[in-house]
Amino acid sequence: MKSHRRLADKRILVTGGSRGLGRSLCKTFASQGANIAFTYVRDDRAAESLRTECERLGVAAIMSKTPSTDFDAMESLAERIESDWGGIDVLVNNAGITQMFPLAMIDEEDWDQVMDVNVKGVFLTTKAVLPGMIRRRSGVILNIGSLAGARMLSAPVHYCTSKAAVKGFTQSMAKELSRHQIRVLCLAPGLLDDGMGTNVPETGLAEYLHHCSLGRVGTLEEAAELAAFMVSDANSYMNGETIILDGGV
């Protein structure tokens, strides 16, 4: 199978797909032949333009204004995709938020908001999609983590904690779901050239670049290309792993 058609006819759901890394994931998957469903929560215009871009690549596309923290809505979306496309082959739990606060400035509400989106949203979305995968005894779940959840970095403590939880969720679910032939993986990028990486203050960026052996941030396209390989059949023997993409920090 040629790499540019590596995901031909796959049915992929990406949460938080309208901007940043999620958008790049959708476009890369579509360019490799996958039908794309994606969620978003705010920007209707960006979502509509992404759907159009995917359809121009010759694949089907579904957009849904659905928060990952709303289980009923996510379950309804999963059922719609199951009905329209016959199933979901790949789930990418990408939706996430951060807040650039030190611990002393983090209120309980801030902590809860980050944990709800970054951890509870992953749990609820996975729970909504799993029944179809289990019935078919096949599927791949890719959770988008972060270098901040795997290494000691100067980053907001609630964000680091949430992404460490995603890593643990990946390992536990990979073990539990292996009997159903469902693989669960985690991609943990370092700083990228768009998305959440743009919120890092200049001092933090300088520190990152100082320790990065390649001396630069990564690109959204580099992360998306790696994600496409990770969820493809060409990567069928990887399970439970967190792959770090950080330029060598």
Q: Is residue 248 part of a domain?
A: no
Structure tokens at 66: 């659905």
Query: What is the per-residue pLDDT for 221?
Result: 97
Q: Is residue 245 part of a domain?
A: no
Cβ-contact 247, 156 below 8 angstroms = no
Query: What is the per-residue pLDDT for 2?
Result: 45
Give the closest residue to 39 by CA, choosing from 17, 69, 55, 59: 17
Burial of 212 (0-12, 13-18, 19+ CB in 10 A): middle
Query: What is the per-residue pLDDT for 54?
Result: 98
Q: Is residue 176 part of a domain?
A: yes
Query: What is the per-residue pLDDT for 154?
Result: 80
DSSP three-state, residue 20: helix
Query: What is the per-residue pLDDT for 5?
Result: 87
Q: Is residue 241 part of a domain?
A: no
d(CA 21, CA 187): 12
Q: What angle do CA 140, 10, 135 make, to 5 degrees?
A: 55
Cβ-based neighbours of 134, under 8 Å, separated by 6 or more: 177, 180, 182
Question: One of 40, 159, 208, 237 is an active-site residue; which one?
Answer: 159
d(CA 41, CA 62): 14
Cβ-contact 196, 22 below 8 angstroms = no
Query: What is the per-residue pLDDT for 152?
Result: 83
Q: Is residue 242 part of a domain?
A: no
Structure tokens at 146: 């972060």
SS3 readout for 71-140: HHHHHHHHHHHHHHHCCCCEEEECCCCCCCCCHHHCCHHHHHHHHHHHHHHHHHHHHHHHHHHHHHCCEE
Query: What is the per-residue pLDDT for 3?
Result: 54
DSSP 199: G
Range of the domain at 47: 3-234
| Global confidence as pTM | 0.95
Query: What is the per-residue pLDDT for 1?
Result: 38
d(CA 11, CA 35): 5
Give the closest residue to 188 by CA, choosing from 155, 151, 233: 151
Q: Is residue 59 part of a domain?
A: yes
Could you confirm whether 237 is annotated as catalytic?
A: no
Per-residue pLDDT of the chain (249 residues; tens, 9 = 90+): 345 789 999 999 999 999 999 999 999 999 999 999 999 999 999 999 999 999 999 999 999 999 999 999 999 999 999 999 999 999 999 999 999 999 999 999 999 999 999 999 999 999 999 999 999 999 999 999 999 999 888 889 999 999 999 999 999 999 999 999 999 999 999 999 987 667 778 888 898 999 999 999 999 999 999 999 999 999 999 999 999 999 999
Cβ-contact 92, 79 below 8 angstroms = no
Q: Is residue 137 part of a domain?
A: yes
Query: What is the per-residue pLDDT for 220?
Result: 97
Q: Into how many domains does the chain fold?
A: 1
What mean pLDDT, rounded, does the chain reach? 95
Q: Is residue 249 part of a domain?
A: no
Supply the CATH number for residue 146's domain. 3.40.50.720
Token pair 């005894």 in the structure block, residue: 137
pLDDT digits (tens, 9 = 90+) for 52-66: 999 999 999 999 999
